Amino acid sequence: PFTDRVFSGIKPSGDLHLGNYLGAIRRFVPLQNDFECIYCVVDMHAITVWQDPADLKRWTYEIAAAYIAAGVDPTAHIIFNQSQVAEHAELAWIFNCVARMGWMSRMTQFKDKAGKNSENVSLGLFAYPSLMAADILLYKATHVPVGDDQKQHLELSRDIAAKFNHDFAPSIAANGFEEAYFPLPEPVITGPATRVMSLRDGTKKMSKSESGSDMATIYLMDDAETIARKIKKAKSDADALPSEEKGLENRPEAANLVGIYAALSDKSVAEVLAEYGGQGFGAFKPALADLAVSVLATQADEMRRLVADPAQIETILRSGADRAREIAAKTMLEVRDIVGF
């Protein structure tokens, strides 16, 4: 009974990096052929930790530009920023009352981000997954392309949808809706590089908030020379690449670099190993650097061209928000009836 619809978003909380590109942005593009797609800049999620207002705006435009530069069509599909559609906050509140404290307490990302200082992080950081559930379910989205790190949050979105459907079942029926009012959204986490790791430590995720050496992270706006230098200095090992995928087990840095190559060239890891198996990193790294530079240069040039005209991005975001609000408002009219408001 649900229309196939995609929703995904990125937080404007730092410079975009290769993990965001391969785990999310690049995957957004082909989905446009089969789904109605809604790609959001989730600025309300960004402020769960302190954001300088000027940076927040700049990064918001940069993410919108990144979507368009990668090939998302903002006329056939929707690009907007979350804060412009107030229904996200409204549904999130209802979901705060559906979700259980215990569910939230089990989120590993919260535990990682709060660390030992959980008394002094924002309440919003704790409640973040219920806002994420609202983002998705406001549009009754059925598919959510994300990186592997978002898997647990997406499971929580499904739990919230299921509990809402269950708790309000009589009211859902009384108001004349299908038994399952909300779909249980499915994660789309496929192919190589769904978890891009730090270039300096194959056990740590590449992240906007990655602290320590900057050599760990490739930023989308890095220039060609910087990208090549970071790849050349990336941690690897002295062994040749295996010719089969299982040879990458227990070699996290090698697996990461091969995965990045595969994702950037739209090949499988097996195909890359068929080509480079037997060769060492002395040969593989320059090939990877060339590939990364050529793919990312096109993306970065187009992003630079777009952010140079903020008025045009603002127009695109406003038009997207108008179209998103139409869908969101309809859902909230229904949800209000179901809840008894």
Residues that bind ligand ADP (CB under 6 A): 10-11, 13, 19-20, 22-24, 146-147, 149-150, 194-196, 205-208
Residue 51 DSSP code: -
Which of 139, 125, 111 has its CA nearest to residue 37? 139
Whose CA is closest to 15, among 210, 149, 263?
210
Residue 286 among known ligand-binding residues: no
Q: Is 307 annotated as a binding residue?
A: no
Residue with nearest beta carbon to ligand ADP: 23
Active-site pick, 57, 113, 204, 235: 113
Least distance from ligand ADP to the Cβ atom of residue 208, Å: 4
Closest contact distance (angstroms) between CB of 268 and ligand ADP is: 17
Does the annotation list 322 as a binding residue?
no
**Between 78 and 196, whose beta carbon lies closer to ligand ADP?**
196
Buried b (16+ CB within 10 A) or exposed e, 273-306: bebbeeeebeebbebbbeebbebbeebbebbeeb
266 marked among binding-site residues: no
Task: Determine whether the annotation assigns residue 135 to a binding site.
Answer: yes
d(C-alpha 104, C-alpha 128), whole Å: 9
| 113 is a catalytic site residue | yes
Active-site residue, from 140, 208, 230, 285: 208
Is-catalytic flag, 208? yes
CB of 214 or CB of 239, closer to ligand ADP: 214
In terms of Cα–Cα distance, which of 307, 221, 311, 175 is closest to 16? 221
Q: Which is nearer to ligand ADP, 172 or 189 (CB)?
A: 189
- With b for 16 or more beta-carbon neighbours within 10 A and e for fewer, the 173-200 pattern comes to eeeebeebbbbbbebbbebbbbbbbbbb
Q: Select which of 57, 151, 205, 235 is catalytic.
A: 205
205 is catalytic: yes
To ligand ADP, the closest distance from the beta carbon of 64 in angstroms equals 14
Q: Residue 205 Cβ, how far from ligand ADP at the closest point, in Å?
A: 4
Q: Which is nearer to ligand ADP, 44 or 94 (CB)?
A: 44
Q: What is the DSSP string of 188-229?
A: E--SS-SSPBPSS-TTSB--TT--S-GGG--BTT--HHHHHH
Residues with a catalytic annotation lie at: 113, 205, 208
Residues tagged in the binding site annotation for L-tryptophan:
135
